[in-house]
């Protein structure tokens, strides 16, 4: 499952703004997006990922994604670095 990928990743970028920035820099191999996040936020991530041909994985919960990242709050998007 995608939460497992986040837990096992050596490097991650947490948050929509940081994910979009990292996608533009070309340092991302995969993006994980929470389906319960605000559509405006995740659409920015999806557009940026599509532009640079980075696969997008969807998970059901911001809360669970945040916990997989080791943070106390939910995460709308997480990028797995190269």
Q: Comparing C-alpha atoms, which of 48, 58, 51, 59 is closest to residue 16?
A: 48
pLDDT on residue 12: 97
Query: What is the helix (H) or strand (E) element at residue 62, kind and residue range?
Result: helix 62-69
pLDDT on residue 82: 86
* pTM across the whole model: 0.94
pLDDT on residue 1: 62
Task: Give the whole-angstrom CA distance, residue 42 versus residue 33.
Answer: 7
Task: Give the whole-angstrom CA distance, residue 55 versus residue 47.
Answer: 11
Q: What is the mean pLDDT of each run of 10 residues along the chain (82 residues)?
A: 88 96 95 96 95 97 96 97 90
Residue 60 per-residue DSSP state = S
**2-81 in CATH: which number?**
3.30.1330.30
pLDDT on residue 2: 80
């Amino acid at each position: 499952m995608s939460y497992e990928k986040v837990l096992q990743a050596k490097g991650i970028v947490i948050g929509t703004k940081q994910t979009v920035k990292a996608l533009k820099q070309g340092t991302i191999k995969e993006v994980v997006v929470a389906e319960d996040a605000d559509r405006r936020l995740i659409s920015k991530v999806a557009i940026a990922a599509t532009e640079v041909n980075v696969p997008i994985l969807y998970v059901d919960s911001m809360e669970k994604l945040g916990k997989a990242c080791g943070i106390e709050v939910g995460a709308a998007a997480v990028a797995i670095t190269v």
